[in-house]
Amino acid sequence: MAMTAAERKRLQVERDRARAKRQLDLVYVLPRPPFGTWLDDDDRASAVDHLAICYDGMNREPPNFQDDNDPVSASGHFEFPSTEDGEPSYRGALGRAELEVDLLIEAAKTLADLINDYKREVIADRIRQIELHDLDESDTRKERLKEIVELNKALERLDRSVRAELPQWQLRG
């Protein structure tokens, strides 16, 4: 079966994104101080403090960008993108920071999907329970029908996507 124009375009965009991840960021080749040193500037203290508070709220240690080591997988199961020459496409503390943003976004999407699925299942179970048992009683029928309407509205809200705006952080491709 032939692909639609939208499907072809989606595949092209996916290929372009994968190709871009295999390239070095434009800033990597420019003379610059290490990212951790740059973060130590007093002008960025409030942003770094805010980052630490966010990680604390997630019960996680904030990342340490003081050393300029390349990213390393904690378990060894994660394959890092590399250039066509086999060099890592994420380098040093800046590369670890970029990769952290990418992976936090992916983790947030996955966690949001799991939460969404859980809430859908709980709501669907409650609707089934009401339909099977609670609609038989005429004195509570009106309240239960109202609850079903509210639950269906909640399911409609779960159909929506949320868009968060982030500043551009990579200059690849």
Which tens digits make up the pLDDT trace of 32-84? 888 999 998 888 899 999 999 999 999 999 999 998 888 888 888 888 877 77
- The whole-number pLDDT of residue 119 equals 97
Cα(80)–Cα(82) distance, integer angstroms: 6
- The whole-number pLDDT of residue 134 equals 66
pLDDT beyond 80 at 114: yes
Q: Are 166 and 98 in contact (CB under 8 A)?
A: no
**Quick one: tokens of 101?**
């943003």
- The whole-number pLDDT of residue 143 equals 87
Instruction: Convert the pLDDT of each residue in 9-28 to its tens digit.
Output: 777 777 766 666 666 777 87
pTM passes above 0.85: no
3-state SS, residue 68: coil
Provide the 8-state DSSP code for 172.
-
Percentage of the chain with pLDDT > 90?
42
Range in 56-60, 72-76, 87-91, 162-166 with the lowest mean pLDDT: 87-91
* 82 strand-pairing partners: 88
- Counting DSSP H helices and E strands in the chain, the numbers are 5, 0
E strands, 18-150, in order: none
